[in-house]
Amino acid sequence: MEAKRLAKIMKALSNENRLKLYLEIAKHEESDFEAPECIISDIVKIFGLSPPTISHRLKELANADLIMTEKRGKYLVARTNKETLGEVMQILAEVEGA
């Protein structure tokens, strides 16, 4: 992974609200829910942030390729990008082992 892309990912996760949002989406995927996606309107209720604020945070995570969003009827759903997460984890493991 090139340094510029990694820096973009790390910058996206450096904000507390973005990190919490990302972790909530990931937590939803690991739960026993039927759908692996997370419905964003549910997240708005959890965080108590305004929908435009959540939307802005989601765009930043999506621009860093950490999540993917999709419109399903009247709902917006999100899921983590496992490929990007795997790359980041690999880099962190290499750094730790160095």
Domain with 12, as residue range(s), is 3-97
Looking at residue 31, its pLDDT comes to: 61
**Cβ neighbours for 49, distance < 8 A, ≥ 6 positions apart:** 17, 57
Per-residue pLDDT of the chain (98 residues; tens, 9 = 90+): 788 888 999 999 999 989 989 988 888 777 655 556 678 887 888 888 888 888 899 999 999 999 999 888 888 888 899 898 888 888 778 777 76
**How many domains, in total, are found in the chain?**
1
Looking at residue 6, its pLDDT comes to: 86
Looking at residue 35, its pLDDT comes to: 59
CATH code assigned at 27? 1.10.10.10
How far are the Cα atoms of 34, 42, 55, 69 from residue 39, in angstroms, in the given order? 12, 6, 12, 10
Looking at residue 32, its pLDDT comes to: 53
Count the Cβ atoms, other than its own, within 10 Å of residue 91. Answer: 14
Looking at residue 62, its pLDDT comes to: 96
